Each structure stands twice: as C-alpha cells, then as structure tokens.
Chains A and B, each alone.
Chain A
Amino acid sequence: MKQLKTTTFILLFLLLWIPLLQQLTGIFKETRLKGAYVESVMPKFSADSLKTFGYQKQFEKYQNEHFGLRPLFVKLKNTLEYLLFGELSVTDNVLGKNGLIFSRGSIGRTLGIYYNGREQNEATAEKIRFMKEALERRGSHVIVLMAPSKEMVFPEYLPDSYLGQAKPANDYSDLVRSLNRAGVPLLDFCTYFRKMKDTSSIQLFTKTGFHWSVYAASLAEDSLLHFIRPYVKGPMLEYRRVGAEWSDTARLSDADFEDPQNLFISLQQDRYLYPKLEMVKGTAGRKRPKVIIIGDSFFWQIKDQKRLKTIFSPDSKYWYYFASTSFPLNDDAGVPLRNINIIEELETADIVLLSGSMGTFDHFPFGVSDYYYEHIAQQKELIKGIFAYLWDHPEWAKGLPESSRANNDVYTRLVEKEAIKICSYKRTIRLKANNGRFVSADGARNNIAVCDKQKASTWETLGLIPLGGNKYAISSYKNRYFSAELGGRGELIANRPAIRDWEVFTMLELEDGRVAFKAANGKYVSLDETSLQLFAKAASVGPGEKFLMMD
C-alpha cells in the first residue's frame, strides 16, 4: 500500500515538472495561440532593475507567457468557461442568443451606451462637409459609407443583459442626420441591411464573424460601385454575379471572432455561402477612377475580395484607420503614410471614400477631415488676408442670425471660420502670358509681378482665391497678395498681407479658354513686352491681357 502511495506521489511530482521540462526541451510540438497579441520579451538583467522589482516583474510576465504547454492551459480555461458559463475569452466578446458572438464595444455604440454626444457628432459632420466642399472644387468627391454592425442588424440576438439599455440616440443616428443636412453623399448600409435581413436568403453576418459576411461585403461592393458611378465621368469596369457556392469552412474573415477565443471546440456554423462573380466582357478597358479610401476593417472585407484593384486605378489607396500605413488595393505591402503627400493624394483623387462602422463611429473619419482642416487652417497668412476682406465686406454674413453678428467674439470666430473655408477653396494655378512665359512674383525685385520664366516652378505657383461671383484674390508662393499698386503706375506687386479693394481682381473667362483680370482701378492686367512686368493699365482686352490658366 505504502509503495503504491509513494509511486503515486512520485508520478504527481513528475507531472509537476512537465511544464518546466517542456519549456527547457521542447519535446512536444506546441502550436501558438491564435489572435493578435504582443508577447513579452526576456528582460535584461541589471542590479537597478532587480532592486526596483522591475526585472522580477518582467521576468515573471515573460515566464507566465512562455512556460511549457501554456497554449493547452489557456485553451482549457477558455473551453471550460465557455462550456460552463457561456463566457468568451476575448473580453470584448459576448455570446448572444443562438450562438451569435457580438462585440461589447460595438453593442455599446449601437445602443448609445457609449456616445460622443450630439455636439461632437455635429462637429464631425461639419468637418466632413468642409472637406467635401473643398475637395469638390478640385474635382474630388467625398462619399461616406456607413457599414452596419451585427448588433444593429440583429438586435434580437443580443444577450438579455442588454435588454432595455438602448438610449434615444447614438453616434450613427447623429451622423446620418448631420451628414444628410450637410449634403454629404451617404451610402448607409445600416438601414439597407436592416431592411433586407428578413427577405434576403443570404447570410449578412455569420455566427462567429465580427464583420459583414464575405457575401454581404460583395453586395456592399456592388452597391458602392453603383453609387459612385455618377461621380465618375464615364462607365467603369463591371462584375456580375453568376451564382453562389456553399462551403464547410469559413473563408477570409467570416469566422474572425473564432480564432482568438482559443478553444478546444469549434463554434462555427455548419456552412457558409460565397458568391461567384465574373468580369463583364467588354468592360475591361473602361475608366478606372482614383479612389482614396479611409476606413476601418469592414472595408478590408471588400478589399480582400480583390475586385477593386481591377476596377479602381492602380494609384488608388486604402488608408486603414488613417493610422500609419497606406495600402494599395492589390496585395502589395503598404508604405508608411508619413511618406505620402496626403493632401495631394486627396486633392487628385476622383473619389475620397470615408468608410466607418458602428464600432468606429466614435472616431470617424479617423482624423482625416481634421488633418485636412488643419492643413488649410495652418495657412495663417492667407487666412489673415481673407479675414480682412470679409471684415470689410460684411454682406457675406447676411444669412447668419442677428445674435451672432451682434456679439463681437462670436462674429470674429465666424469670420475666421469663413476665412478658413474660403482658403480651402484656393486653387493652385500657373498663369502663362501671351509671351509664353509664366507669371511670378520676383523676390529679388521687391516682389513685382513679372512674366519671364519659361518653366513653371515654385515661384510661378500662384493661389486663386474665390471671393464670390467672379471676384478673386491672387496669392504668390510667399502667401502675399497681388495688388495693383495704388497711386503708382498700376504696377502689379505681390507684397500685401491682406485683401483690400486693390487686391481684388475680376476674372473674365474668354471664349478661347483664356482669362483676363480687371483690377480695382478698372484697368486690365497687361504684360509690358519690354520690361516683362505686369501692370493694370489696359482699357480693353487684347493679346497682352490674355492669360492661360493652368492647374
């Protein structure tokens, strides 16, 4: 009896040694735990770190993550808690009815428990409107895509613990209202999916997927392409659905909630439906618009289907969360966003697509509209000049409430805001005069306007700022305004910090596609063939008063 007990005891102690021996020898092959996490590293030893307990703390953390057979222990705990209590190991996940897994964060956003508040959401929509209007003047169209959440489409499957917790408003409802009011083109899949869920035979969401299903993403892609068609001049390459197939295993991220649970059992549904699409013949050579997408992981589901890379132009980009990387739409690696000229990319795109979803509306559109606004607002010298013009011409504020105009502080802020908005409409141009040379402000000669450069470079880059009607101010590359020198010879000089009457020009668009500018003295800006200087001295438009305006 005693021998048997001793043997049992020895076996028990040998068992106790197994994790340590496995760590030292790696006898059994272990598979890494799934999901995304950062593993700690073995700390560097130092007397100081030992004294302050830093070394021990890090070492224990490292050891806790690296002892032998740890993945089995983690899976065991996760499986037991799931089977016994229906608890999921990823703390953001919660098990709903009928085995549907939801995201707690997304539930909170959907029900309005986590809520930015109406004021912040309206400010967000206002920034998007600002960006939309500014980019539209450059030929780029901003479109907002709102992806649905599983929680919004299938609220009836939410766990009972969320019953009665829905608040009257959420970020989504605020944004939809504000964006509609601001006239921002909106592709709202939340409403669309809710409407179709009872009639559609396809799975919009899978049981263990966070995002819309691959099938639903393909529908969203199709709707998106239809939606942007009016904004893209000319037909685009097309795909058509030729059927669907069932699969026993999930593809792409159709079960993306499953892996990080790290269970011994499978939670997935039995079968998954996948669409079959093929390119419509004869559409391959069509226009491919340049599209810049700023979006969250819902858009990744569309990108992963690999059709957009053939529909959109090769220089289209996907700025995931506008965080750190600019991804192409093909499978190539991304490049750091810091190496990209963001403003130029936005302003040269055909479409700028802002794609958000219920779980990310709290920081939608991920800072890009703020970035754009700040880019404009930092042109402080130009804005100051426009501010002076608006202050002198208060008629722009007629539509504002009387109370805003009466309060000096409020009015000042509104003038500043309007000035930033007008600055955002600034068009970057080059002016070629009749002598075939480009207009610039000659820094070496007191910034007088000359027309002597055969190639347009930095100095020849000018800003055309619309002031209403056909009135414009023209800025030099140094952000000084061109002025027809008052009391002088009508000499054009680019040295004015503010737009007053002498810095305003009336632009005439001529029949031959050229333009002419009339200064405040009523004379047209004219090229002096001898000095190659510009003067506002011509009474009518002749060849010397015509300019070719180039972007």
Chain B
Amino acid sequence: MLFSSTFFLVYFLPVFFTIYFLLPLWLKNYFIVFASILFYAWGAPQFVFILLGTVLFNFALAHLIVRSSGRRKRMLLIFSVIVNVCLLLFFKYANFFADNVNVLLQAMDVNAIDFMRIALPIGISFFTFHQLSFIIDVYRGVKPPMKNIVDYALYILLFPQLIAGPIIRYNEISDQIEGRNKRFNVDEVLEGFLRFAVGLAKKVLIANVLGREADRIFALPAAELDFVLSWMGAITYTFQIYFDFSGYSDMAIGLAKMMGFTFPENFNHPYIAQSITDFWRRWHISLSRWMRDYLYIPLGGNKVSDARLYFNLWVVFLISGFWHGAEWTFIAWGAYHGFFLAIERLFLLKLTSRIGIFFRIAFTFLIVVLGWVLFRAHNIQQAGSFFRKMFSFSTGGTHYFSPYLITMLLIAAFFSFIPVVGRWAGREKNTAAAGIGITLFRVATIIVFLIICISEITSSDFNPFIYFKF
C-alpha cells in the first residue's frame, strides 16, 4: 500500500488514526502492530509470516544474547547476523547471482542452470537492517532488548517506516516505544500531519511529474538521445529521486510524529553539499549512519592505515550500492561514490577548497547527477551511451518541454538549493508555542495539499476518450 494512493489517504489514514486516537494509551502499541501487519499483508500476504518469523527469531535470540557471555554470546551474534544476511541475500540477490552465473556458463558453452525466480518480500532491505541494528545494539550493550515482543514487533513493523525507511537504529527508538506515557499533543499531531502533507506533495506534485519525463527520456533508444535530452533526463531524474525519496521520508516521519514517535531526519538538502563526503552526510542519512555504525566502524573505522581506510570506504560504498538493488548499475554507482570519497580524502577536498562555495556546490552536484545516471540506467551499456550523449554537445533538433514540467523543475531546484524551506515545513522546535495563526496556516496547508494531491493521484489514470461508444 502506497502512502500516495487514494486507498491509503481515503480509507486507511482516517480509519487508522480515528481508532488510534480513541484508544487508551496501553492499547495503542498493540493497535499499531495490528494495523501494520494488515498494512504489510495487504501488499505482500505471502511474506507476512516470513516477516513475523524473523521478528520472533531475532527477539528470542536477543534475549539469549543478553543472557550469554564470552564466546557463546559472540557465536549467537554471528549466527543471528548470518541468518538475517542470508535471508536478505536469498530473497534479494539469488536471481542476480543465478543470472550472472548463467551468463558465465553460457560464455563457456555450458548449459545454463534452470532455476525458479525468487519473489522479493517488500521492505526486506529495511527490516533486515532494523533487525541487525537491534541484535548488534543488544550485543554491544547499548540497549537491553525489549521485554514485550509486541514492542519489538512495533519497532520492526511500524508501518510508516516498514517499506522504505528511514532506517531507525534500535537505540534511537526503543525508549520511545517502551515508555509510551505521552498524552495526546495536538501540536505534535498537526506538525506530523503537515510533514506528511508536505512529503505527499513532494512525491505527487513534483517527483511524479519529473519522473514521467525521466522515464520517457530513459526509455528512448540511444540513437534518439542528444545533448539536451540526455541532460534533461539526468536532471529530471536527479530531482525526481530526491523529491520522491525525501517525500517518502517526510511522510514516514510525519505519520510517526502523529503517533508520538520522533524519527531521525533522513535528508538535509543534499544538493547543496560541497563535497561527496558532505553529500553522504545529507543524503539518506539514516543509511549512512547505519553503515557507519554497523559496518565501517567494525571494519576499523578511521583507526587504520590510509590504504586500509580507502579500501574500507570503498567496500562500504560498494555494499551500500548493492543494498539499493541487485543490478550491476547499483554496484557501479556505489563504487563511483566510493571512488570520489577516497580521492576527496587523498587530494580533492584540498583542491576544491580553493574554488569557492558556489563552484564546490556546482562541482559536487555535477558528480551526483552523473552518478544518478548510473543509478537510473537499465544497464551499464545504457549508462555509457547516456554519458557519451551528455558530453557530445550535439543536438538532434529542437526540443519542447511543457510549461508544467519546467515549472516543476524550477520549483524542485528552488526547494533543493534554498535550505530555508525545510524549516517552514513543520520542523520548528518550539511547536507547542505555535500560535493560532500558525496553526490555522498549517491546517490550511494540510487541507490544500491533501486535496490537490488526492486530485492528482485519482486523475493519474483517468484519461477519457471523446468517443468510445462503438
């Protein structure tokens, strides 16, 4: 179930929150878990028991870990990590590995292996990372495991973050789940609702419009691409992915806020980053932090030789790229970013420090845009031909882009490069003190955004003909 569907907005959202607000505090967590299971089962009923099974498994193992010590404790951790990672590898990457093995076999004139395609459980990348975070935090003693399995299930299943994050580390949320003693706070609910509406608008009104153009251009044969189109495709996708993903994160953060949870921020104006290192502090922050805490630091972090450090960085970004999808393009994208992170540490940061902030941002943005071409392309060959066209400086005639597209592109660029806007979108610290004027403004914004977004969503597949009667 997508947040940006009328099914969610018209059915799920009012029904869920009405019941949620009416329930007594001690029942709220149970209800969230119940609704989250329904939410997941609606989209992937065949995988709901796998998900619940992993919840039980990790919860039990965490309690065993906390009661163990020494080698046994370590073995339990390794066992848990292996099981979780293997599940992820099996469901997400088995097809990829089998396809590539078959390509190799065919190249050696050996018959390809006949295998059954594996379906991908929705959200497996996210809930696996959540479960690993839980197990590792318990092992490290950062936080004890939750006593009530329903509370743990809530951490894993909480529907705002179940499908697409943000990735919340266990130690960030466990107290909020177990210590549910907050009363209904209208300011917090309105703030959350506004954040949700802003995220929805980012997704529906901007990302989807830009996405249609990006899809059109990336579907063109290489021969029909030229300098203008290839750059248009790359730029529209650059803003699409940001507004799509950050919009989803806003919706997740907003919904969680309405339930009384505070999720960490996932984006911080990544396109004003002055280096790739800076970019990864601003883009998908929850993933970067997870990677840092649970992969980079265990590999040695910064306390290793320079050569090892660059190697570690590269490995982390290769894995990060592969985590995004089982395709060579994602691996290449991860390697690409890893490469720039390494050379920034080597010399690039020193070089760019002399060119001024404007050029630093522009240079970083250019690297990011080229990276998104790798990320979006269907395969490495397409990315290659896209790059060639981007730097061919040859035009294949005049191109027309609609005022609607151009307007949305300008709005996207404006909100990406002007960091003020984020604060307006309901992130003020002093929410309790918000006056009635601000409250009314927020409510009006929520209503306007919701109405326009529902209008846009429900009309997206409504395309009547003039005549159809025969």
Spell out A's residues near B (CB within 8 Å).
1-2, 4-6, 8-9, 11-13, 15-17, 19-20, 23, 33-38, 50-51, 53, 56, 59-61, 63-65, 67-68, 70, 73-74, 76-78, 80-81, 84-87, 89-91, 160-164, 210, 256-257, 259-260, 262, 297, 320-321, 323-325
Contact = CB atoms under 8 A, between A and B. Distances in A.
B8 to A, nearest CB: 9
Interface string B428-447: 00000001100110010011
A163 B399 CA distance: 10
A56 B42 contact: yes
Interface stretch (B9-17, B24-32, B331-339): B9-17
B107 to A, nearest CB: 35
Interface residues of B, number: 54
Given A13-B17, A15-B447, A77 B465 contact: no
A34 B464 contact: yes
B102 interface: no
B404 interface: yes
Contacts, number: 153
A455 to B, nearest CB: 41
A257 B466 CA distance: 7
A64 B14 contact: no
23 contacts: A1-B435, A5-B190, A8-B190, A8-B439, A8-B440, A9-B190, A9-B443, A12-B193, A13-B17, A17-B18, A20-B11, A60-B6, A61-B461, A64-B6, A65-B458, A73-B459, A85-B402, A87-B403, A89-B462, A91-B463, A260-B465, A320-B470, A325-B470
A28 to B, nearest CB: 15
A257 B17 CA distance: 42
B85 interface: no
Query: Which residue of B5, B14, B15, B443 has the most chain A CB atoms within 10 A of its CB atom?
Result: B14
Given A20-B11, A64-B457, A90 B463 contact: yes
A65 B14 CA distance: 18
B99 interface: no
Of all A-B residue pairs in the complex, the 8 with the closest CB atoms, nearest first, are: A35-B464, A36-B468, A161-B400, A77-B455, A85-B404, A37-B464, A73-B455, A260-B464
Contact of B462 (A11, A37, A80): A37
B45 interface: yes
A12 B461 CA distance: 28
Contacts of B462: 33, 37, 65, 74, 89
B189 interface: yes
B469 interface: yes
Contact of A13 (B10, B18, B435, B461): B18
Given A13-B14, A16-B14, A53-B45, 9 more contacts: A4-B436, A9-B443, A12-B446, A37-B462, A59-B7, A64-B6, A80-B455, A84-B404, A89-B462
A321 B447 contact: no
A118 to B, nearest CB: 22
A5 B187 contact: yes
B251 to A, nearest CB: 15
Contacts of A23: 10
Contacts of B466: 35-36, 90, 210, 256-257, 259-260
B343 interface: no
B452 interface: yes
Given A63-B7, A64-B6, A76-B452, A37 B42 contact: no
Contacts of B111: none
B402 A64 contact: no
Contacts of B1: 60
Nearest to B13: A16
A321 B469 CA distance: 12
B43 interface: yes
Contacts of A161: 400, 402
A413 B289 CA distance: 74
Nearest to B189: A9
A485 B189 CA distance: 103
Given A2-B186, A36-B467, A67-B458, A85 B403 contact: yes
Given A12-B193, A73-B455, A36 B469 contact: yes
B451 interface: yes
B46 interface: yes
A44 B233 CA distance: 41
A78 B455 CA distance: 9
B213 interface: no
A4 B186 CA distance: 10
Contact of A60 (B7, B186, B452, B464): B7
Given A5-B186, A90-B463, A73 B458 contact: yes
B14 A17 contact: yes
Contacts of B5: 60, 64
Contacts of A8: 190, 439-440, 443
B451 A73 contact: yes
A9 B186 contact: yes
A8 to B, nearest CB: 5
A355 B285 CA distance: 64
A63 B402 contact: no
Query: Which residue of A2, A19, A91 has the most chain B CB atoms within 10 A of its CB atom?
Result: A19
B407 interface: yes
B428 to A, nearest CB: 15
Given A74-B459, A257-B466, A164 B42 contact: no
Contact of A37 (B435, B451, B452, B465): B465
A70 B467 contact: no
A67 B465 contact: no
Contacts of B443: 8-9, 11-12
A87 B190 CA distance: 34
B6 A67 contact: yes
Contacts of B397: 164
A297 B465 CA distance: 13
Contacts of A38: 468
A36 B461 contact: no
